[in-house]
Amino acid sequence: MGEQPIFSARAHVFQIDPATKRNWLPASKHAVTVSFFYDASRSVYRIISVGGTKAIINSTITPNMTFTKTSQKFGQWADSRANTVYGLGFSTEQQLQQFAEQFKEVKEAARLAREKSQERFELANPALNIAAPELSQELSEERHSPPLLTVNGPGEEKLFRSKSAEVELTAEKERVKKMLSEGSMCEINLEAELFTLQDSNSKLVEALQEANSSVDQWKQQLAEYQEETDRLRDQVAELEAQLGHPAAGQTAREELSRTLKELETLLSAKDQEIHNLQSKKTDVGELEKEKEESMQRLEDLERQNGDLADRVQSAEKTLASSREEQDQSEAEVKRIINVLDVKICDLNDLRHSLAKLIDK
């Protein structure tokens, strides 16, 4: 029995840049279907997403994985086996919450499936089904002992129990947390919103191209209708000329008049449809303008950050210069005070001298 899908959602898929470990790289140009699958034959849960003929996500869920919501519409998880971090950008906060809850449920199911698989392995392995209490106690202690390699001898089974995988996963988890903490959540959100905007823009452009092709077809039909109308009018004129009096072609003229009215009604309807399609062009132009404004705001923010950094450096230099001037001023004040003290002492001596002269 093959894998069965248990949950699906539409999202933009990203992967962490392996070079910088900070920026996100888009794995899909548009929103794609991301599904949870369950393989009953192996008791394995996987997240799979296919873009065209290429699998852009193939992540086996383990109990050690954690799905983290970094914004209202963006979430991520680390896959140590694939040595990458996946990011998903959803169109609504509700879709993100549903995916996070499904991830949590599947993670718990994977944990239970692993425990059951370990129990079946222990029951099926003859080396673990020994009736002696002493050996049973040794095996129980061995489950909680440090990693070791047990060799029972030639031709017998070897039991390898190691926690190196768990240690490696823990170290990988800490490394991913550190790597993600260094990134800018604002940049991630802006990139996700930008790719969502580009997706909407591309869809509108495709719709506009289809509408333009329809407009060309309708214009061609209008030209054919006009040619048919002119031809019919020429035929009416020829019939009137051949019959010599207008009364003979009265019925034909009435039919032609009705046909002309129907054609004029059809032409007015086509003109209205063309007008509606031209109004859609304005919507696409507004969307393009909004995208340019977003890019301009992003550039303005970066420029403002640079200006603020320059102002901080200038303020630090000014503060250092002010402190130096203050130190110089304090030294000058102390010097003046010392000079005043000397002058006061001289004045006191002079007073004493004058007093002595006066007494004499």
Domain range annotation of the chain: 5-123
Distance CA 218, CA 278 (A): 14
Distance CA 63, CA 154 (A): 36
| Look-up of token digits 């802006």 | 190
Give the pLDDT of residue 177.
56
Give the pLDDT of residue 73.
95
Spelled out in words, what is the top-level CATH class assigned to the domain 5-123? mainly beta
Distance CA 136, CA 129 (A): 8
What are the φ and ψ backbone dihedral angles of 50, each rounded to 5 degrees?
A: -120, 130
Residues 6+ apart with CB under 8 A from 246: 240, 253
- C-alpha to C-alpha distances, 111 to 43, 46, 328, nearest whole angstrom: 10, 13, 71
* Amino acid at the residue 344: I
- Contact between 89 and 11 under an 8 Å Cβ cutoff? The reply is yes
Distance CA 195, CA 295 (A): 12
Give the pLDDT of residue 230.
84
Distance CA 333, CA 227 (A): 103
* Amino acid at the residue 25: L
Distance CA 73, CA 192 (A): 9
Give the pLDDT of residue 87.
96
Residues 6+ apart with CB under 8 A from 158: 149, 150, 151, 152
Strand 32-39 relative to strand 44-51: parallel, antiparallel, unpaired? antiparallel
What six digits make up the tokens of 93? 């906060």
pTM: 0.39
Chunked in runs of 10, what are the mean pLDDT values of the chain (360 residues)?
Answer: 84 93 90 93 91 90 94 94 94 95 94 83 58 43 37 36 53 58 48 59 73 79 82 81 60 76 84 77 70 82 81 81 84 84 84 82
